Amino acid sequence: MKHLFQLLFLFVAALAAAQSNDASQLGKPYVILVSCDGYRYDYTARFHPPNISRFVEQGVQAASMISSFPSKTFPNHYTIATGMYPEKHGLVDNTFYDPARGELYRISKRSAVEDGSWYGGTPLWVNAEQNGMVAASFFFVGSEADIQGVRPSYYFPYDGSIPNEKRVEQVLEWLSLPESRRPHFISLYFSTMDDAGHRYGPGDESQISKALLELDAVLGKLFEGVKSTGLPANIILVSDHGMVDVGPDKLINLDPLDQDGRYLIANNGALAHVYLKEGADADSAYAFIRERENHFRAWRTEEFPYYRSGLQNPRLGDFILLPEYGYYLSDSRRIAQARNGQFRQGGEHGFDPEIPEMHAIFYANGPAFKAGLSIPSFRNIHVYPLICRILGLPIPKGIDGREEVLRGILAE
């Protein structure tokens, strides 16, 4: 009941403050971008969720969608939202340090998450609002922040305890608004598969299947609800990354690298960023780390091969620590807890996006799309210009995504 009152209050407040669609936007279609965090590319074929399978058969499906490096939640959600690689839009990881600001960004740090000055690029909802189109978001990375001074007309601060059913109900309420205030772009987020993948690992057939069927039932309600509106609404299902099993024996202790006087380490498990402190000697610090490599390799950032844009964003750090595939960077406390059974070490992600287990999904269905079409794998940077084309929004200069990559899936 508490959540219902919170949602009602926030929705009424947003309704009062929301802008109206410009007259030029009223006849345009609708796009609902649904993120299913941690939904690995092969789950649908393995577990056959009925509603999702039917959605896929009647629409467009990619063999997989290739994440951007690192295959972590915040960088990849924001890449989908901006069409830019992480080192270009600035969310280079779930946790990183900004030398210019002298601050650490963490996904659990609400003051940073809601501060638009951390975020580069022009997210889809900002693009829409700047062009007189009402946008809404029931959770998506960056949608809580005042990016370029703009937030969606309707949005909610993240609260993972809000049931998935309530999220779907809210989307359908948005679509029932008067045309002048009805959002043409909506983002929606579910963490169901990521939660199950981290807790049990993708190899646990029983638990992953159970979680997927729960998500499938909720998505079925969304599909039917959207269809019943009669609106020219298009639904795009994506995920941010895949998942791989990582056992307690694959955890690497980084405590021996502790050199607080020389550098700061921002550890994200599948990689860590090392930031030299003022006055620290880069060569000696690098040598110190290299001498202690243990199922991981240290790279000077300018030599690191996994960033595709070629940019050297200072947020990446001076060195990058990359574990062998299947190993995960940790510390002595967490390793002891995992090996003592105090928590279950399940699945992880963040590794090289070229590895199939890190691949995500892309499914699309609606009047804008061809039916019964399968396409090869593609990179997630290309979703942004696709949505811009459907909604008739300008495609910002300088993005990495290209409109022509997915043009062939459109029914036009």
Active-site residues, by number, are 73
- Angstrom CA distances, 132 to 81, 181, 342, stand at 18, 11, 52
- Dist CA 192 CA 213 (whole Å): 10
What are the helix (H) ranges across 100-204?
A: 110-113, 124-130, 164-175, 192-200
CB 254 within 8 A of CB 265: yes
CB 363 within 8 A of CB 222: no
27: closest CA among 118, 132, 141?
132
AA letter at 206: S
- Count other C-beta atoms under 10 Å from residue 268's C-beta: 20
CB 365 within 8 A of CB 55: yes
DSSP 148: T
CB 346 within 8 A of CB 239: no
